[in-house]
Amino acid sequence: MYTAQFRYFRPADLGEAEALFRAGSDARFLAGGQSLIPAMKQRLASPSELIDISRIAALSFIRRERERLVIGAATKHANVAASGDVQASIPALAALAGMIGDPAVRHRGTIGGSIANNDPAADYPAGVLALDATIATNMRKIPAENFFTGMFATALEPGEIVTEVAFPLPRRAGYAKFPNPASRYAMPGVFVADFGHAVRVGVTGAAACVYRATELETALAHRFAAGALDGSAVDPAELASDLFASAEYRAHLVKIMAQRAVRACDG
Ligand SMILES: Cc1cc2nc3c(=O)[nH]c(=O)nc-3n(C[C@H](O)[C@H](O)[C@H](O)COP(=O)(O)OP(=O)(O)OC[C@H]3O[C@@H](n4cnc5c(N)ncnc54)[C@H](O)[C@@H]3O)c2cc1C
């Protein structure tokens, strides 16, 4: 019979978490456990130490500043969805958080865990990239543009802990996803952000990694309206094909979700 062997730690602060990681042999940080625990159950991950950062109080907050919204890494999806500050500053981000998984997932999963995991069909990466967010860690600040590096891959170094995500405030933004009927993951999801001087479009659930749809950005920068995308065609060449959807179907859905996201900007 398989018996998982790992030691579990619950540090009180970041310094203790860092020290535990350095002392471990193959340590992993644990936040909501909504991705890591299933991976361990499937034997896809077998860390020797689990360092549970979910109760470090300094990592769980939502703070509205003058020109940005800052969310602590251990903040749960349900708290982002329900936050008056998020709803008032970037309503599309609250809507995105409210679309993740089911209530159980939203009450355990965290924003830091979601972006550190960088599942190709996860919702937050689309919002983080489209909103040009900055990811702060215990070591440095990383622009979203450089953070998501590939399928389940990020710029994070071993032992690096996401501490907060800072979002500049857009003039308007919208998110729409076509959810997988079983998992609720995006297939795809499109986040559109209009900053006045620039329009950014983040696409998840369509390719190996979240990406910016520059051709849609150009069309929307010219005229910010769903109809401005009528003549746009999304190239399926780089998109994923699997048992849920072909690359051609995903390309079609990217355009439709982008149009829905633009319409969602008006509430
Ligand atoms: C049934 C189900 C449905 C789901 N549906 C969706 C969905 O529709 N959309 C969606 O986006 N997601 C979905 N998820 C995933 C969910 O959002 C997870 O919460 C998320 O992917 C991981 O966050 P977590 O806090 O649970 O991280 P964990 O599972 O604890 O950790 C995930 C990874 O991130 C690392 N990590 C965690 N926190 C940090 C940190 N602060 N710094 C550095 N590394 C860190 C861990 O070491 C681990 O490698 C679903 C999950 C389940 C089980």
State the 10-residue block means of pLDDT for the chain, 267 residues long: 83 97 96 96 94 97 96 98 97 98 97 98 98 98 98 97 98 97 93 96 98 97 96 94 95 98 88
Query: What is the CATH code of the structural domain delimited by 7-52?
Result: 3.30.43.10
pLDDT of 183 reads 87
For the chain, the structural domain boundaries read 7-52, 57-168, 172-264
Nearest-angstrom CA–CA distance, 49 and 22: 11
Between the CA of 182 and the centroid of ligand 1 the distance, in Å, is: 17
Q: Which residues of 64-90 are buried (b: 16+ CB within 10 A; e: fewer)?
A: beeebbbbbbbbbbbbbbebeebbebb
131 lines ligand 1 (CB under 6 A): no
The token pair that represents 206 in the structure block: 């369509």
pLDDT of 266 reads 67
Mutation pick for ligand 1 pocket among 9, 34, 111, 204 (CB with most ligand atoms within 8 Å): 34
pLDDT of 15 reads 97
Q: What is the pTM of this model?
A: 0.97
Beginning with the edge strand found earlier in the chain, give each strand of the sheet holding 68-72 in spatial order.
Answer: 62-64, 68-72, 162-168, 134-137, 141-143
Between the CA of 70 and the centroid of ligand 1 the distance, in Å, is: 19
The token pair that represents 2 in the structure block: 């398989």
Coil, helix or strand at residue 226: helix
Cis peptide before 179 (omega within 30 of 0): no
The token pair that represents 127 in the structure block: 């919002």
Between the CA of 106 and the centroid of ligand 1 the distance, in Å, is: 10
Topology of the domain comprising 172-264: Enolase-like; domain 1 (3.30.390)
Nearest-angstrom CA–CA distance, 124 and 219: 24
Cα–Cα–Cα angle for 19, 21, 27, rounded to 5 degrees: 160
105 lines ligand 1 (CB under 6 A): yes
Point out the ligand 1 atom lying closest to the alpha carbon of residue 34: 26
Coil, helix or strand at residue 16: helix
Between the CA of 24 and the centroid of ligand 1 the distance, in Å, is: 22
> In this structure, which residue's CA is closest to atom 19 in ligand 1?
109
Best CATH choice for the domain 57-168 from the list 3.40.1440.10, 3.40.50.300, 3.30.465.10, 3.40.50.2000: 3.30.465.10
